[in-house]
Amino acid sequence: MPELRKDPITNRWVIIATERAKRPMDFGKAPEEAKGAFCPFDYGNEYTTPPEILAFRPKDSQPNLPGWWIRVVPNKFPALEPNLKMQRYGHGMYDAMTGFGYHEIVIETPDHNATIATCEGKQIEEMIWAYKARYKALAKDPGIKYILIFKNHKRDAGASLAHSHSQIIATPIVPKRVQEELTGAQTYFQYKERCVFCDIIYQERMESVRIVEETDQFISINPYASRFPFETWILPKNHSHHFGEIGEVQVQEFATVLKKSLLRIYKSLDNPPYNFLLHTAPTTGEAKQSFHWHLEIVPRLTKVAGFEWGSGFYINPTPPEDAAKYLKGVEI
């Protein structure tokens, strides 16, 4: 029997379509990516990217040459430009502003064929340290209100290059999707004087049917009102409103949970396309008590069609309880 479920953060409803229930093997395999093409992110091709902003490399190696194991560069085709003066203006009844902001690429590994799921844990830790370094640096710009770290894995998820990389976009406004979470979390806090994310963690640990991975510091779950099949969230178990606070032990455990969660998705769904998005509080310091940073992993297994676009509902053919059971059953 189908069931409607309400997301406790945004109050968005989803339809868990049990009549259409799908197991991992019921989803088609994503087409193979083209191989052999020139890749600007490979060793020896550093000259083809904009000059690096940050690189983890031996002290005796030269910038913009081989030797690195993590590299951050400006996007060659940026969505926003840091050199523009931020200016708001009207266009009749419409509002607009100059396209000020930052758009950076984090090249996660020198290995062209590696993925986060198959990388060594230490490499993922280094990637997270790079995320934090750039987050802290970009947050110093007073014109920046929000920093989104995200990843598109494979072409069907929006990746234009196969080499494993993620992106950072810093904007002068808080994105609508994030604002919905901030508003919902604040409303919940005003009513209950508790963080909604902390309550979700407590509930999930009590029921233990949607947990995928857990360590002392982090938990990975398939949310109760999952929008998509095998949607997976990773949250710090201790309250923390923004990602920039992450410390050494947390980096290690976050890397472990991220790798294991993605490896379970990789193995059970045959390396599907996916996006991940790191939602954190705005750089302005608000929502310290009500918000809780987290990373959302969304395998791209279904298409958003007319009903979803027209209604705002999502139809999920895989109950999150089943998804968690399948993922936990994978040997890693």
pLDDT more than 70, % of the chain: 95
Residue 117 pLDDT > 90, yes or no? yes
CB 218 within 8 A of CB 254: yes
> Can you tell me which residue has the tokens 């007073």?
142
* CA 46 centroid distance within chain: 26
Residue 45 pLDDT > 70, yes or no? yes
pLDDT for the residue numbered 116: 96
Residue 110 pLDDT > 90, yes or no? yes
Mean per-residue pLDDT, 191-211: 97
Q: How far apart are CA 277 and CA 253, in angstroms?
A: 18
Per 3-state DSSP, the chain is made up of helix, strand and coil in percentages (nearest 5) of: 30, 25, 50
Mean per-residue pLDDT, 7-20: 90
pLDDT more than 90, % of the chain: 90
In degrees, rounded to 5, the angle at the alpha carbon of residue 71 between the alpha carbons of residues 37 and 101 is 100
pLDDT tens for 240-249 read: 999 999 999 9
> How do the domains of the chain map onto residue ranges?
3-29+39-328
Residue 197 pLDDT > 80, yes or no? yes
CB 211 within 8 A of CB 205: yes
Widest Cα–Cα separation across the chain: 64
Q: Please report which residue ranges of the chain form alpha helices under DSSP H.
A: 121-139, 176-192, 196-207, 248-268, 306-311, 320-328
pLDDT for the residue numbered 180: 97
pLDDT band at 31 (very low <50, low <70, confident <90, very high): low
Length of the chain as a residue count: 332
pLDDT for the residue numbered 36: 67
* CA 214 centroid distance within chain: 18
CATH code of 3-29+39-328, in short, is 3.30.428.10
pLDDT for the residue numbered 285: 87
pLDDT for the residue numbered 34: 59
Mean per-residue pLDDT, 184-211: 97
pLDDT band at 122 (very low <50, low <70, confident <90, very high): very high
Q: pTM of the entire structure?
A: 0.94
DSSP structure class, residue 226: -
Average pLDDT, the chain: 94
Residue 24 pLDDT > 70, yes or no? no
pLDDT tens for 54-90 read: 999 999 999 999 999 999 999 999 999 999 999 999 9
The residue type found at 109 is: T
> Can you tell me which residue has the tokens 């904009």?
50
Question: Which sequence positions are flagged as catalytic?
Answer: 165
pLDDT for the residue numbered 37: 82
Residue 33 pLDDT > 60, yes or no? no
Question: How many CB atoms lie under 10 A from the CB of residue 255?
Answer: 23
